[in-house]
Structure 1
Amino acid sequence: MIENEDRLEQEAEDIRRETAEGSPEVAEHDRVAALEKQLEEANSKALYAAAEIQNVRRRLETEKQQAGLYATTQFARDMLAIKDHLERALGAVSDELRADKVASNFLAGIESTARELEQVFTRHGISRIDAMGEQLDPHKHQAMMEVPSDDAEPGTIVQEMQPGYMLKDRLLRPALVGVARKP
């Protein structure tokens, strides 16, 4: 671009020199107009290039912010498996086992671990998707089966097989659900 401006300035100087030597004014006017047009085009291209650079810079900044916000996505998905195992383990414990003193202490440790994991999820923007009683939302729920039901409207979630989770405003894992249908 600088080379174009230098070339244009050189041509303008050549025109001035020719005019001083007595070349026709019409030819001079045409050459000056051509040079002005070229200069205008060069300026236009420079403005376009500057705008494009600014757009690229803005887009990269947005991508950088998104990468920072959602960098933990895969790690969070892996941690969901651990949370599922803890919940299944706690759900499988019978009341008889809870009455036993040794087992009770062991279970208290597992429950404490599950609570701590839930707190860590909350701190990092990982939240459980509410499913039971909600209408099926294909952006948050994955229907695994239809359940005949007189009590619920068709399309209402009546069973949750696996909880779903969001990472801030993005789906981390859909809830696996059973949906009501007319019997």
Structure 2
Amino acid sequence: MTQKPRAADPGDTGSTPGGSAPTKPATGDGERVVIRNNRKLTDTSEPEGTATDAGSDVPAEGLVEDAEIVVDEIEAEVNATDGPEPSGPPVVDAPAQPVDGGGTSLGAELEALRAELDERTRDLQRVSAEYANYRKRVDRDRSLVQEQATGSVLAALLPILDDLDRAREHGDLVGPFGTVAEQLTTALGKFGLNAFGEQGDPFDPTRHEAVAHQTSAEVSEPTCVQVMRRGYQLGERLLRPALVAVADPE
């Protein structure tokens, strides 16, 4: 009677009764464990009546299935541990910078930034000063141009004011005509027009033009004793000097 092979444990490292090769333990290198099914074939040379029992192949088939399950589990664990290989070049960690060298580099960079900041600050201050001077110059030129334009218009009206002065001396500025003359004088005064040159004023060669000279014991300094034509100024600007007769002390 043929003896049935016993079912071996899947973890058994020895030879299986069915002639299977010994199972190698799984390693971390992902080595595939291959179990070949060398099942024991029935000897056909045996006489009739001594053939191997048909059920003797069942334990071998179960052993192969169990081994394949264990191999699949081992492969899954190895693949999960190793993970996919990186597609790019290997990453090499940069060497750590020394502490002292890094501090020196940062200090030098900080000094360079401070120097550049100081230079930019000086440039900004210089530009701001130039712009302030430019604004002052523009404002001064604008005021000068405005004053010159106003002076030109007022200088053209001075002969009319001279005629009004002569009419006033003769007593002709009466009624509506006198009212219009006063309104014109007031309106021109709002633009800064001022008249000067009265009898008894000290003679000022910068403001008076002497057309006659005489001596008098009644004066202690050169004095305007007669005003022939009044002078006008616009603010501090002289539009026209006054024509006067001057009396010098004896």
Which TM class, normalised by the smaller chain length? Answer: 0.5 to 0.7
Q: In the alignment, is the contact (CA less than 8 A) between 2:222 and 2:249 conserved in 1?
A: no
> Once structures 1 and 2 are overlaid, which stretch shifts more, 57-66 or 80-89?
57-66
Q: Distance in 2 between matches of 1:161 and 1:150?
A: 22
Report the Cα distance in structure 2 between the residues aligned to 1:140 and 1:131, rounded to whole angstroms.
12
In the alignment, which of 141, 145, 150 is matched to residue 208 of structure 2? Answer: 141
8 Å CA contact 1:132, 1:159 repeated in 2? yes
As a proportion of its length, which structure holds more helix? 1
Superposition pairs of residues 28-47 of structure 1, within 5 angstroms: 37=115, 40-47=118-125
Residue 168 of structure 1 corresponds to which residue in structure 2? 235
- Given candidates 166, 170, 176, the residue that maps to 1:88 is 166
What is aligned with 1:50?
128
1:158 aligns with 2:225: yes
Distance 2:166 2:113 in 1: 79
* Deviation by residue 1:84-125 (Cα, 9 ceiling, x = unmatched): 12333554x5xxxx8xxxxx8x97454344333222223333
* Aligned-residue offset at 1:131: 3.2
Which one-letter code corresponds to 1:171 in the other structure? L
- Amino acid in structure 2 at the alignment position of 1:48: R
1:127 alignment partner in structure 2: 194
Unaligned runs of 5+ in 1: 1-19, 99-103
Which residue identity is paired with 2:207? K
- Consecutive unaligned residues of structure 2, counting only runs of 5 or more, are 1-96
- Higher RCO structure, 1 or 2 (CA under 8 Å, sep 6+): 1
Work out the CA distance in 2 between the residues paired with 1:76 and 1:135.
Answer: 26
1:179 and 2:249 correspond: no
Question: CA RMSD, aligned part only?
Answer: 3.7
Compute the TM-score of the two structures, normalised by the length of structure 2: 0.47
Deviates more, 1:31-40 or 1:57-66: 31-40
Offset at residue 70 of structure 1 (A): 5.7
Structure whose CA Rg is larger: 2
What is the match of residue 31 of structure 2? none
| Letter of the 1:151 counterpart | E
TM-score, length of structure 1 as denominator length = 0.61
Matched, 1:72 2:150: yes
Q: Distance in 2 between matches of 1:151 and 1:58?
A: 50
* Number of matched pairs: 152
Shift of residue 42, structure 1, vs aligned partner? 4.1
Deviation at 1:32, TM superposition (A): 8.1
Q: Which residue pairs with 1:115 in the alignment? A: 182
Aligned mates of 1:173, 1:34 — CA distance in 2: 65
User: Do the aligned partners of 1:126 and 1:165 also contact (CA within 8 Å) in 2?
Assistant: yes
